[in-house]
Amino acid sequence: MFGGKKEENKQIKKPIDIEKADIKAFLGQGSHFEGKLNFDELVRLDGNFTGEICSSDTLIVGETASIEGQISVGALILSGRFVGGIKATTQVELRAPAQVEGTIETPCLKIDEKVMFNGEIKMSAEPQQQPSKKIENDQKKDEKTLSQ
């Protein structure tokens, strides 16, 4: 009776209070990093980054950050400067004074006033589970039976 709601709620993340967030890694203002960054928990960037960022969790990009490259994360909160491509499976939040140039693909997008965005937005649906081969084969058998 109540089981369906719990499964839906697992996919939706609550908004993050940046001041109270439990940040596991931090690239501070004045830092420069080039390469590939993979992480499993909340990360905040306030420095300069060039490259690729991959995670199923949340990335926070502070006002002083400047990023060029590709971001593929669960959720993104961006207040700094970004050039490249963004793909987020749950949400993207652009907070002033963010400056973004590139593409954003996400099922949920929030853009504050005074954010500068120049690019393309692709609103994607939540990922759907692909039917298994057994189900597809069973459907084909049923279709053959009905046609005979």
pLDDT tens by residue, 18-73 = 555 566 666 778 889 999 999 988 999 999 999 999 999 999 999 999 999 999 99
pLDDT in tens, 89-118: 999 999 999 999 999 999 999 999 999 999
Tokens for 41, please give them.
């928990």
Domain definitions of the chain by residue range: 3-147
HSE, side-chain direction, 13 A CA sphere, residue 115 = 22
pLDDT at position 135 over 90: no
Q: Tokens at residue 71, please?
A: 């971001």
Question: Pick the residue with more confidence: 129 or 63?
Answer: 63
For 114-142, give one letter per residue: b (16+ CB within 10 A) or e.
ebebeeeeeeeeeeeeeeeeeeeeeeeee
71 CB-contact burial (10 Å; exposed 0-12 / middle 13-18 / buried 19+): buried
Res 127 pLDDT > 50 = no
Please state the rounded mean pLDDT for residues 3-15.
Answer: 46
Q: Is it the case that residue 128 has pLDDT exceeding 50?
A: no
Residue 2, pLDDT > 90, answer no
